[in-house]
Amino acid sequence: MPFVATTSSPSTELFYVDVGAGQPVVLIHGFPLSYASWENQINALVGAGYRAIAYDRRGFGASGKPVGGYDYDTFASDLNDLITSLDLHDAVIAGFSMGGGEVARYIGRYGSGRLSKIMLLGSITPFLLKTADNPDGAPKDLFDGMTDSVTKDRISFLDTFFTNFYNWDQPHDGISDDLIPYSKFLAWPASAIATQQCIEAFGTTDFRADIAKIDIPTLIVHGDADRIVPFPISGKKSAAMIKGSRLEVLKGAPHGFAATHPAQLNALMLDFLK
């Protein structure tokens, strides 16, 4: 099994998959999943002649589960370790949900020299938290409540979370009834500490200064029915901040559109890569 050793403290190992040939596309998963949530996109990328690289964030999936390092400076360092270890150039990095934070912070800290394009998919950028200069953000109590729920009963939290992740109480014809059980199966192996601390990380980290440094073509895709990361405070704002970015809004799509709307997302990704 391929692993990359990280340089940030506490150090750990990141599990990754590397399939196909051609221009590399690095896929960064969302909370609280693993690289396996990219299954549909990996198949599409490899089939179209790209090299798909997907990894498990520290604390999740088959990666190491240290007691710390669940902050975006460390996550960006981990991504940089993967990119430099594989000596990637002309790469595209795509971040879903909290993975969009890695994309932004990576460029903020390391620049875009090894990259050609980026994708922010259902991304948490530019800043979710309600503050005096971000009045339409989400209140801190929301994230504190999520952390409390995870701490008290992580398994129960995941059941409710994924219902909203996929808007499962709405009609979902054509989508397997096993999607939520499968998502919980991917999330269960995660570190409890990582699951708790990542909520603080994605809920309170300000990426506006990182977003300002993005200087390469950017695709932004968001569902307009997203309950987890509402479009008006995330994708819409990122598109306004990133000059020349391409914004695609998926009508009626929930947060987890990579699974519920895979054909639409794959078509947008492949068109952007061309």
- Please say if 183 is a catalytic residue: no
- Please say if 97 is a catalytic residue: yes
pLDDT at res. 117: 98
Residue 1 banded pLDDT, cuts 50, 70, 90: low
CB atoms closer than 10 angstroms to residue 113: 8
Q: Token pair for residue 118?
A: 């980026």
E strand residue ranges, the chain: 3-5, 13-19, 24-28, 51-55, 91-96, 115-121, 218-223, 246-250
Contact between 150 and 188 (Cβ < 8 Å) = no
CA distance 92 to 110: 14
**Residue 157 clears pLDDT 70, i.e. is over it:** yes
Identify the three-state secondary structure at position 84: helix
From the list 97, 183, 191, 245, the catalytic residue is 97
- Please say if 255 is a catalytic residue: yes
Burial of 39 (0-12, 13-18, 19+ CB in 10 A): middle
**Residue 63 clears pLDDT 90, i.e. is over it:** yes
What is the tens place of the pLDDT at every residue in 75-123?
Answer: 999 999 999 999 999 999 999 999 999 999 999 999 999 999 999 999 9
pLDDT at res. 173: 87
Residue ranges making up the domain that contains 147: 3-273
Domain of 193, CATH number, reads 3.40.50.1820
From the list 29, 226, 234, 261, the catalytic residue is 226
Residue 30 banded pLDDT, cuts 50, 70, 90: very high
Tally of helices (H runs) and strands (E runs) in the chain:
10, 8
From the list 34, 183, 245, 255, the catalytic residue is 255
Domain count, the chain: 1
